[in-house]
Amino acid sequence: MTFGKELIQSAEEALAIAEGRMEPAAVFIPETVDVAAIRKRQKLSQAAFAKRYGLSAGTIKDWEQNRRQPDRAAMLLLKVIEQAPDMVARAIRA
């Protein structure tokens, strides 16, 4: 199948799903991370957490208040921070 035909088929399937005539084959549920819980376990304020890990305090606030979601790279960083916070802090200072 050519790219153009695949694109048209995909658009037709999307329309059918949106109109309720078809069920999606799979539903993507993005992974989430509880930024506030990670920060609170370290007993840090939003500003201190942001400074320690080279992030902006506004970004931490937005993530915690669900105004924005971390992108894939930030999600991975947060998962490493959750598992090895001191290692990440040392690596960022270096």
- Using the predicted structure, report yes or no on whether residue 80 has a pLDDT greater than 80: yes
Q: What is the pLDDT of residues 13-58, one digit of tens each?
A: 888 888 989 888 876 666 789 999 999 999 999 999 999 999 999 9
* Residue 35 neighbours by CB distance under 10 Å: 26
Delimit the domains of the chain by residue range.
Answer: 1-29, 35-93
Overall fold of domain 35-93: 434 Repressor (Amino-terminal Domain) (1.10.260)
d(CA 3, CA 52): 47
- What would the mean pLDDT of 82-89 be, rounded to a whole number? 95
CB 35 within 8 A of CB 63: yes
Q: Is the pTM of this model over 0.85?
A: no
94 against 12, higher pLDDT: 12
d(CA 42, CA 21): 49
Contacts of 53 by beta carbon, 8 Å cutoff, 6+ apart: 77, 81, 88, 89, 92
